[in-house]
A and B are shown apart, each in its own frame.
Chain A
Amino acid sequence: MTDTIRDLIHGNASNVEAGAALGALSHGFHLAAAKDFTSDIEVLNYALTLEYLEAEFYRQGNRAGLVSGKEKQYLMQIGADEASHVATLTATIQKLGGTPAGAPAVDFGGAFDSRKSYLTTAHVFENKGVGAYLGAAGFVKDKMILQAAAGIFGVEARHAAVVGNLLGLKAEGGVYQGATETGIPKADVLKAVAPFLQDPGKVVAAITY
């Protein structure tokens, strides 16, 4: 596990207090750099890349025989959700006349060495996903696409909370990340997932889930 990932796990977003909440909230859409995305299709392809990464992560993780029982059931469902997000985003991009990004070539390193490393990495992915959607939301122009993206964002938050709870993390700062979610700029998200990309920009043939 890289230092970046370790930092992500321990450097949880600070809690936003009531008085500061509004100020923080109103900055939620301004975290990403002004030119991060120039179209809805770009935002959707960014989301698609992250969803590909997550879907493949759970596909491999759930084959590694690290979890069982209820826990396995949850992780299978989470993996199915991510695969569903891939399909939905791909169809939407095509509908808009865009070209969907390909599945990135990935390498999850030692993430599947143990149950703990699997869940810990999953927790990072999910919280990064939550932050990525919120950070990019301000760039979405079409309100109905925004609603669907928000709908995915909410489900990523569910995943993050449940995985955090499976790990037995403390409630606040582990399961929950404060009273409000915090957006993460594109550059930070890409930096966080970089260790899992074999060769940034390299894509593999379409994966069927």
Chain B
Amino acid sequence: MGIKAIFGGRPVLEFADEHSRRSFLRNAALVGVGATYVASQLGDPLAFGDADRGYAGDAAKSDLDILNYALTLEYLEAAFYTAGLKANLLKGRELELVDPIQQHEANHVTAVRTTITDLGGRPVAQPKVKFPAGTFANRASFLKTAATFEELGVKAYHGQVPLVKDGAILAAAASIAGVESRHAAIIAQISGGNPFPAPIEANLGMAPVLKAAMPFIAK
């Protein structure tokens, strides 16, 4: 699957203003997306013992870099669900299932942000994202984009597992990643997708994850 196919070739986010776009681009630059991005590095599920298959391009990143990367993704997810719930597209059991997801993502933003600050780092700014027309047009488009976000989020966390140096940060990231997996499964279950795409979670390096969002940044 090519990077552009991740969101079905559809724009998923636009930045509301130039400041937000620059803020996002700074973070993207931090992890080497953009002009220096050369090859699509799609991550296969790493088998046990394949010890040489980490994301070499990410290996030099500090824990703070990884946390800011996670923060960016959590900001996007939180903003996405906030907007989606505001659009009032779900009801009954579906609403009951999706409502806590928004709370979890907001909670993750706070947790990751606080962690960065506690470590003496500087959290990236919150991007003011604007989702393209149609994203919240109906229940199906909302859930379809949600499924894409969740699966991407799961792969993003799992791509960083071998690279986080501090044990406590790794524990924090893992405990968040598990919840993203629950979200991905439930969104798939209620939208007719596959809740169990593989016996072991797949993963992606930073560059392809950010690349998935990059083409959709409005000038």
Give me the interface of A with B, judged by CB distance under 8 Å.
16-19, 21-22, 25-29, 74, 77-78, 80-81, 84-85, 88-89, 91-92, 95-96, 130, 134, 137-138, 142-148, 150-155, 157-162, 165, 170-172, 175-176, 178-183
Does the CB pair B48–A145 fall under 8 Å? yes
Shortest Cβ distance from residue B17 to the other chain A in the assembled complex, whole angstroms? 27
- State which of B31-39, B128-136, B177-185, B207-215 sits at the interface with chain A: B177-185
* Chain A positions within 8 Å of B172 at CB level: 22, 25-26, 28, 180
Binary per-residue interface labels of chain B (157-176) against chain A in the complex, 1 for a CB within 8 Å, 0 otherwise: 01001110001101110111
Does the CB pair A155–B111 fall under 8 Å? no
Give A38 to B179 CA distance when docked, in angstroms: 28
Does the CB pair B168–A176 fall under 8 Å? no
B99 interfacial contact with A, CB 8 Å:
yes
* Chain B positions within 8 Å of A84 at CB level: 199-200
Binary per-residue interface labels of chain B (179-210) against chain A in the complex, 1 for a CB within 8 Å, 0 otherwise: 11111111001000001101111110000000
Q: CB < 8 Å: which of B99, B114, B195, B202 contacts A171?
A: B99
Give A169 to B115 CA distance when docked, in angstroms: 32
Does the CB pair B104–A148 fall under 8 Å? no
B73 interfacial contact with A, CB 8 Å:
no
Shortest Cβ distance from residue B210 to the other chain A in the assembled complex, whole angstroms? 20
Cross-chain pairs A/B with CB under 8 angstroms, 24 sampled: A16-B107, A21-B110, A22-B114, A25-B172, A29-B168, A29-B170, A77-B196, A92-B48, A143-B162, A144-B48, A145-B48, A147-B46, A151-B158, A154-B181, A154-B201, A155-B198, A155-B200, A157-B182, A157-B185, A160-B182, A161-B182, A176-B182, A179-B176, A181-B179
Give A27 to B154 CA distance when docked, in angstroms: 22
Q: CB < 8 Å: which of B163, B178, B200 contacts A148?
A: B200
* Chain B positions within 8 Å of A153 at CB level: 174, 177-178
| Total of A-B residue pairs, C-beta within 8 Å | 197
Does the CB pair B174–A134 fall under 8 Å? yes
Q: CB < 8 Å: which of A27, A159, A181 contacts B174?
A: A181
* Chain A positions within 8 Å of B180 at CB level: 154
Q: Which range holds the interface residue count of chain B?
A: 35 or more
Does the CB pair A182–B185 fall under 8 Å? no
Closest A residue by C-beta to B52: A144
Does the CB pair B51–A159 fall under 8 Å? no
Q: CB < 8 Å: which of A18, A138, A179, A182 contacts B167?
A: A138
Give A137 to B167 CA distance when docked, in angstroms: 9
* Interface of chain B residues 85 through 109 with chain A (CB within 8 A): 96-97, 99-101, 103-104, 106-108
Give A160 to B162 CA distance when docked, in angstroms: 25
Does the CB pair A137–B201 fall under 8 Å? no
B54 interfacial contact with A, CB 8 Å:
yes
* Chain A positions within 8 Å of B196 at CB level: 74, 77-78, 81, 155, 158-159, 162
Contact A130 B178, CB 8 Å, known A18-B106, A29-B168, A154-B201: yes
Does the CB pair A22–B115 fall under 8 Å? yes
Does the CB pair A175–B97 fall under 8 Å? yes
Binary per-residue interface labels of chain B (62-97) against chain A in the complex, 1 for a CB within 8 Å, 0 otherwise: 000000000000000000000000000000000011
Does the CB pair A181–B185 fall under 8 Å? no
A16-B107, A179-B108 are known; give 4 further A-B pairs, CB within 8 A.
A29-B168, A130-B178, A160-B182, A180-B175
Give A5 to B27 CA distance when docked, in angstroms: 46
* Chain B positions within 8 Å of A157 at CB level: 178-179, 181-182, 185
Q: CB < 8 Å: which of B51, B108, B179 contacts A176?
A: B179
* Chain B positions within 8 Å of A77 at CB level: 196
* Chain B positions within 8 Å of A89 at CB level: 48
Among B47, B178, B179, max chain A CB count under 10 A is at: B178
* Chain A positions within 8 Å of B121 at CB level: none
Shortest Cβ distance from residue A143 to the other chain B in the assembled complex, whole angstroms? 4
Shortest Cβ distance from residue A78 to the other chain B in the assembled complex, whole angstroms? 7
Does the CB pair A147–B49 fall under 8 Å? no
